[in-house]
């Protein structure tokens, strides 16, 4: 902690233009600019010690610890800035031979194929990552905080786990050294309202909708990547990624809270069960109607009290996560895009596949149903991409639909099998849908 | 690649302030990498970890003892915020509760707090929370609170209220409808009987955490313990019937059985530090009364002012009061001032004499009293003080309640060549620090009002003189506590200047001779007063005895009766204390 504090304080002084000399290990003489000294409420010339041992030979040194007024003032000053920064990844080659072949090798279209577009060329684009730094408060009847960083690919909407794993080796620069490149569009879905309709809206997205009310009706793919809306949507996904990162901690807390809750519940239930049983026994023994009535009232009161006390303990142990975004960094990197046709018997679309020259791989396409990226995809009859989990198949014609198109797939009223809009038979009398085998048997 | 929420059953909230960061990104308001990293470092340094390390210790103005910190940690970690703090009297349960409260507030786990105390302690709690924990609370007596009526309970998040106020039907309904994060009940032995409205109120409160504070959890029988614990953790000691069967000797409700099992159950909710356990022993303290006779003009003035006060009070009590501004509080203040010095009473007399709202006849009497006060040239107590100071050259702390008396004594003592510093509420923080530093360094005398050294370490001094005596024994105890505290190694000497025939003389007789107040442990007086059947403040009781007495004999008899009541209260307290010691011993210290 003392080392962290020393690094923090001296970096701060450096940042604000102070002169620092180190007469000994763990001791620093600091000459502050007058305005900074005024802001911090100290004399411009300071002698600071960062440990008791180091300060001992210097009686005039101020021994700094966490919680010291000076440290608190520095923290306050620092909190007023440093919200955002930007880095560039320049050291990558933005060309790739036989990119189409690489795409074909990486991506599987389960119900179709990939076809090169004759007119399409590999196009370098500017892609973005955002590194979100959250202070996460995990609150039950106790509270602990953690700093959690997640790196999100802004264009694909996915956590960049792989890049994050190699983050320390990535060469980040403060300036863009390549030629100007067009900005890559967002490729991710669903939008918030799609999520809500599909019933996959997370609490994070709900919180986000409340944070940015004007965003509810906008399709994220039509947004500018750096618009507040797209960043807010990405933040919601980053929040989910935080829960993945903290899964062991969360699981531990949940288990601990659940155990405590169970014990408290058991104690309360036993107490109120016994109390109620005692009252009932007394009720059954008495022949005095007024007394019986009084006992019945008491019993009702005991049961109401039981409900209140149980609600109290449940509220006490419920786990809440509060994510405070400390700051964020934008990382800009060139990538190659190649438009490729995705086809099957029923549909054909053009999809821009991405080659990442830093990680040397083709990025997985994004499912239009759930917004997650997968190398194995399906082409929906209506031209959407869908992952295995988001596909609905007609049991009769074997056409596939994604979750966005679920209204095109019904169930036969007689046999219950999935039947799509192309294969169904609608009864002229009752209007209900059946498969062709059960046509006319609906009523 | 897939991101799936692992916390489907839990609530996740994005802080509203996050938008500022997103906007900075969107606007391209990028700052240096160093500023970015510094911000992260600042947050890393202030991360909240488990309760092993208390955050509050850096954010309070009191240096708690290790056992107090341990107790707070026990309440936070082992009791999960629901505990019975039963330290012996004088070991600082308020400090322990304050640590828990501050810790929860700093961690953002607590927002809405209710502190319930006996009526006489609401102000003391507020003072301590402000001066030691930097926490502002409103009390139910504050005008802003009263103005809002029952809605005030919801409007204010940090409230100190008396149990008596909270249980009144109009307040009770409002309190029961709210959800509190933390409820603290001081002198929780008032919850010993589950048939009372007080018990029912506290039991029905919706709360996340709860601390019950009492030095005497059991006063008469073990049922009381069951009732207390049931409020905290229903079922911890099972139902009342099961508790009796399992843990109480048949036919003797005071005698426990299955002690081991009972102890294990209690240890989950109760902590009790004893003086011998925490190794806190203080040197003896000795009180000496310096009885003196007022000079004839002083005695005449005292009698005249007293007669005036008594007459107005008696008139008010027989409904023949004239409805002017001479309320009981003003009269009590006047009587206390004249007990201090003629100089202290004079400004009040002048103000009242000039007040057109007061009956002309009374104003004439008051004007006469002003003249009498102005004519006093010799002060017997001041002379006695000079003699006392001349008898020894040790450092001494002199207390007076009134600024006018303090100003007079300052002049007098300086004129007599004494090296002194003054200390009163109107000084700035820096001036107060300087005064204490000078007293420690070279000044012989610290002349001070009640404001003296709340929380200051004055243990380097072992002598104090009460130039005037507060009517409230708790105030006297606070004065003594300035020098008779941990760190004091020498015997403490307390000199009380007492003028014959004054109220203060009677009070001193009761407190010193009857119940040996000056030899009690700090905090015990509070327990004794709590055992008085009369719920009024002690000073109100004293004033009533004073006002009712028509003759000196009646006064002596009334005061004697009050003294006897205090003796009985002390005996009752002692019996309870012995019982609790026998019952709990040293088994429940904080770990």
Q: Taking CB atoms and an 8 Å limit, are A67 and B236 in contact across chains? A: no
The 3-state DSSP class for residue A362 equals: strand
Q: Which residues of A touch B42 (CB under 8 A)?
A: 8, 74-75, 78-79
Confidence of residue A364 (pLDDT cuts 50, 70, 90): very high
Q: Which residues of A touch B41 (CB under 8 A)?
A: 4, 7-8, 11, 78
The pLDDT of A6-16, averaged and rounded, is 92
Tens-place pLDDT, residues B80-97: 999 999 998 878 899 999
Q: Taking CB atoms and an 8 Å limit, are B234 and A272 in contact across chains? A: yes
Per-residue pLDDT, A221: 54
Tens-place pLDDT, residues B229-247: 999 999 999 999 999 999 9
Q: Which residues numbered 79-98 in B keep a CB inside 8 Å of some CB on A?
A: 80-81
Query: Would you list the DSSP string of B129-198?
Result: HHHHH----EETTSHHHHHTGGGHHHH-SEEEEEHHHHTSHHHHHHHHTSEEEEEEESSGGGG--TTSHH
Q: Taking CB atoms and an 8 Å limit, are B239 and A247 in contact across chains? A: no
Q: How many degrees, rounded to 5, is the angle at CA A63 between CA B99 and CA B441?
A: 80
First CA to last CA across chain A, in angstroms?
77
Closest Cα in chain B, distance from residue A422 (Å)? 32
Q: Which residues of B touch A282 (CB under 8 A)?
A: none
Q: Which residue's entry shows tokens 């949940």?
A: A254
Q: Which residue of B has its CA nearest to A85?
A: B30
B276 contact partners, CB below 8 Å, separation of at least 6: B586
Residue in B3, B7, B233 closest to A267 by CB: B233
Residue in A1, A145, A211 closest to B48 by CB: A145
Tens-place pLDDT, residues B550-572: 888 899 999 999 999 999 999 99
Q: Which residues of A touch B180 (CB under 8 A)?
A: none
Confidence of residue B547 (pLDDT cuts 50, 70, 90): confident
Q: Taking CB atoms and an 8 Å limit, are A82 and B45 in contact across chains? A: no
Q: Taking CB atoms and an 8 Å limit, are B22 and A232 in contact across chains? A: yes
Substitution target from A265, A271, A387 for chain B, most B beta carbons within 10 A = A271
B204 Cβ under 8 Å from any chain A Cβ: yes
Per-residue pLDDT, B322: 52
Q: Which residues numbered 233-292 in B keep a CB inside 8 Å of some CB on A?
A: 233-236, 238-239, 241-242
Q: CA torsion B441→B446→B452→B458, rounded to 10°? A: 40
The pLDDT of B457-482, averaged and rounded, is 88
Interface confidence, given as ipTM, is 0.85
Residue in A235, A241, A274 closest to B18 by CB: A235
The pLDDT of A105-132, averaged and rounded, is 94
Closest Cα in chain A, distance from residue B394 (Å)? 33
What Rg value do the Cα atoms of chain A yield, rounded?
31
Q: Taking CB atoms and an 8 Å limit, are B36 and A85 in contact across chains? A: yes
The pLDDT of B372-383, averaged and rounded, is 93
For residue B134, is pLDDT > 80? yes
The pLDDT of A244-273, averaged and rounded, is 94
Helix (H) or strand (E) holding A101: helix A99-106
The pLDDT of B160-164, averaged and rounded, is 94
Q: Which residue of A has its CA nearest to B51?
A: A142
The pair of structure tokens assigned to B535 is 């719920």
Residue in A8, A161, A212 closest to B41 by CB: A8
pTM over 0.90: no
Per-residue pLDDT, A121: 86
Q: Which residues of B touch A129 (CB under 8 A)?
A: none
Closest Cα in chain B, distance from residue A24 (Å)? 24
B177 Cβ under 8 Å from any chain A Cβ: no
Closest Cα in chain A, distance from residue B226 (Å)? 13
Per-residue pLDDT, A59: 87
Backbone angles phi, psi at B115, to 5 degrees: -115, 125
Q: Taking CB atoms and an 8 Å limit, are B25 and A227 in contact across chains? A: no
Distance CA A147, CA A325 (A): 10
Q: Which residue of B has its CA nearest to A329?
A: B25
Closest Cα in chain A, distance from residue B252 (Å)? 23
Q: Taking CB atoms and an 8 Å limit, are B13 and A321 in contact across chains? A: yes
Alpha-carbon distances of A313 from B101, B109, B264, rounded to whole Å: 19, 15, 22
Q: Give the burial string for B234-250 (b: 16+ CB within 10 Å, else e).
A: bbbbbbbebbbeebbee
| Pairs across A and B, CB distance < 8 A | 251
The pair of structure tokens assigned to B328 is 């009981």
Share in percent of chain B as helix, strand, coil (round to 5): 55, 10, 35
Closest Cα in chain B, distance from residue A242 (Å)? 9
Residue in B7, B38, B233 closest to A8 by CB: B38
Whether the CB-CB separation of A104 and A353 falls below 8 Å is answered with no
Whole-number average pLDDT of chain B = 89
Q: Which residue of A has its CA nearest to B9?
A: A319
Tens-place pLDDT, residues A167-224: 888 999 999 998 999 999 888 754 444 444 333 333 334 444 444 433 333 445 567 8
């Amino acid at each position: 902690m003392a080392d962290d504090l020393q690094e923090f304080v001296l970096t701060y002084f450096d940042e604000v233009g102070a002169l620092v000399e180190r007469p000994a290990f763990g001791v620093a003489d600091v000459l502050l600019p007058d305005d900074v000294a005024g802001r911090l409420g100290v004399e411009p010339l300071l002698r600071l010690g960062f440990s008791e041992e180091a300060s001992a030979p210097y009686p005039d040194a101020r021994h700094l610890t966490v919680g010291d007024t000076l440290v608190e003032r520095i923290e306050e000053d620092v909190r007023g800035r440093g919200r955002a920064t930007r880095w560039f990844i320049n050291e990558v080659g933005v060309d790739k031979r036989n990119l189409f072949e690489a795409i074909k090798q990486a991506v599987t279209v389960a119900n179709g194929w990939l076809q090169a577009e004759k007119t399409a060329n590999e196009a370098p684009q500017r892609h973005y990552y955002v590194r979100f730094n959250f202070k996460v408060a995990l609150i039950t009847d106790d509270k602990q905080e953690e700093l959690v960083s997640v790196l999100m690919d802004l264009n694909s909407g996915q956590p960049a786990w792989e890049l994050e794993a190699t983050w320390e080796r990535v060469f980040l620069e403060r300036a863009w050294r390549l030629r100007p490149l067009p900005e890559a569009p967002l490729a991710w879905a669903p939008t918030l309202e799609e999520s809500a309709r599909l019933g996959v809206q997370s609490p994070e997205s709900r919180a986000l909708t409340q944070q940015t009310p004007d965003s509810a009706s906008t399709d994220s793919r039509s947004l500018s990547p750096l618009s507040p809306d797209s960043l807010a949507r990405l933040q919601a996904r980053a929040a989910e990624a935080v829960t993945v990162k903290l899964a062991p901690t969360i699981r531990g807390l949940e288990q601990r809270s659940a155990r405590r809750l169970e014990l408290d519940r058991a104690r309360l239930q036993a107490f109120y069960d016994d109390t109620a049983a005692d009252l009932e026994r007394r009720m059954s023994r008495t022949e005095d109607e007024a007394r019986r009535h009084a006992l019945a009232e008491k019993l009702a009161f005991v049961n109401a009290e039981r409900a209140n006390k149980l609600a109290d303990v449940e509220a006490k142990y419920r786990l809440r996560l509060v994510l405070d975004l400390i700051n964020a960094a934008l990382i800009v990197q060139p990538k190659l895009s190649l438009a490729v046709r995705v086809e099957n018997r029923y549909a054909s679309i053009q999809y821009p596949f991405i080659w990442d020259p830093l990680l040397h791989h083709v990025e997985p396409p994004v499912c239009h149903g759930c917004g997650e990226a997968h190398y194995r995809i399906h082409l929906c009859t209506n031209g959407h991409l869908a992952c295995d989990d988001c596909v609905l198949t007609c049991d009769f014609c074997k056409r596939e639909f994604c979750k966005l198109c679920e209204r095109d797939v019904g169930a036969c009223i007689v046999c219950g099998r999935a039947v799509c809009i192309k294969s169904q038979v609608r009864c002229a009398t009752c209007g209900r849908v059946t498969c062709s085998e059960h046509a006319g048997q609906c009523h | 690649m897939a991101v799936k929420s692992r916390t489907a059953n839990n609530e996740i909230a994005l802080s509203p302030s996050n938008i500022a960061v997103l906007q900075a990104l969107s606007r391209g308001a990028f700052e240096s990498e160093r500023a970015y990293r510094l911000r992260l470092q600042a947050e890393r340094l202030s991360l909240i970890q488990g309760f092993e390390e208390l955050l509050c210790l850096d954010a309070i103005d009191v240096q708690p003892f290790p056992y107090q910190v341990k107790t707070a940690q026990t309440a936070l970690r082992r009791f999960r915020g629901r505990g019975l703090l039963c330290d012996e009297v004088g070991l600082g349960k308020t400090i322990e509760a304050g640590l828990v409260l501050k810790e929860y507030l700093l961690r953002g786990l607590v927002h809405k707090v209710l502190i319930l105390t006996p009526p006489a302690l609401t102000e003391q709690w507020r003072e301590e929370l402000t001066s030691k924990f930097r926490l502002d609370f409103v009390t139910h007596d504050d005008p802003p609170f009263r103005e809002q009526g029952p809605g005030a309970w919801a409007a204010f998040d940090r409230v100190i209220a008396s149990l008596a106020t909270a249980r009144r039907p109009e307040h009770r309904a409002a309190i029961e409808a709210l959800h509190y994060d933390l409820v603290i009940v001081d002198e929780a032995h008032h919850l010993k009987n589950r048939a009372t409205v007080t018990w029912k109120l506290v039991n029905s409160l919706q709360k996340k955490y709860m601390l019950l504070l009492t030095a005497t959890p059991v006063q008469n029988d073990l049922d009381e313990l069951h009732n207390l614990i049931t409020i905290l953790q229903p079922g911890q000691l099972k139902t009342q019937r099961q508790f009796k069967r399992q843990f109480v000797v048949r036919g003797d409700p005071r005698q426990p059985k299955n002690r081991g099992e009972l102890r294990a159950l209690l240890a989950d909710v109760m902590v009790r530090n004893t003086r011998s356990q925490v190794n806190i022993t203080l040197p003896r303290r000795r009180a000496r009364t310096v009885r003196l006779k007022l000079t004839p003009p002083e005695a005449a003035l005292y009698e005249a002012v007293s007669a005036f006060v008594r007459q107005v009070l008696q008139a008010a009590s027989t409904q023949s009061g004239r409805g002017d501004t001479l309320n009981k509080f003003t009269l009590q203040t006047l009587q206390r001032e004249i007990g201090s010095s003629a100089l202290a009473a004079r400004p009040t007399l002048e103000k009242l004499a000039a007040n057109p709202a007061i009956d002309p006849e009374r104003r004439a009497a008051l004007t006469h009293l002003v003249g009498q006060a102005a004519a006093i040239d010799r002060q017997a107590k001041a002379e006695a003080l000079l003699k006392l100071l001349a008898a020894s050259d040790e450092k001494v702390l002199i207390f007076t309640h009134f600024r006018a008396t303090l100003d007079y004594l300052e002049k007098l003592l300086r004129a007599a060549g004494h090296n002194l510093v003054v200390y009163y509420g109107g000084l700035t923080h820096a001036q107060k620090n300087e005064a204490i530093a000078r007293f420690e360094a070279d000044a012989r005398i610290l002349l001070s009002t009640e404001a003296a050294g709340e929380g200051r370490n004055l243990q380097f001094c072992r002598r104090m003189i009460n130039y005037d005596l507060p009517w409230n024994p708790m105030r006297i105890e606070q004065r003594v506590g300035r020098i008779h505290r941990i760190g004091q190694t020498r015997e403490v000497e307390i000199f009380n200047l007492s003028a014959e025939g004054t109220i203060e003389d009677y009070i001193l007789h009761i407190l010193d001779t009857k119940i040996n107040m000056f030899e009690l442990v700090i905090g015990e007086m509070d327990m004794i007063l709590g055992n008085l059947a009369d719920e009024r403040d002690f000073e109100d009781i004293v004033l009533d005895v004073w006002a009712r007495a028509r003759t000196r004999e009646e006064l002596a008899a009334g005061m004697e009766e009050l003294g006897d009541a205090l003796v009985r209260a002390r005996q009752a307290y002692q019996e309870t204390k012995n019982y609790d010691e026998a019952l709990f011993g040293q088994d429940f210290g904080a770990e």
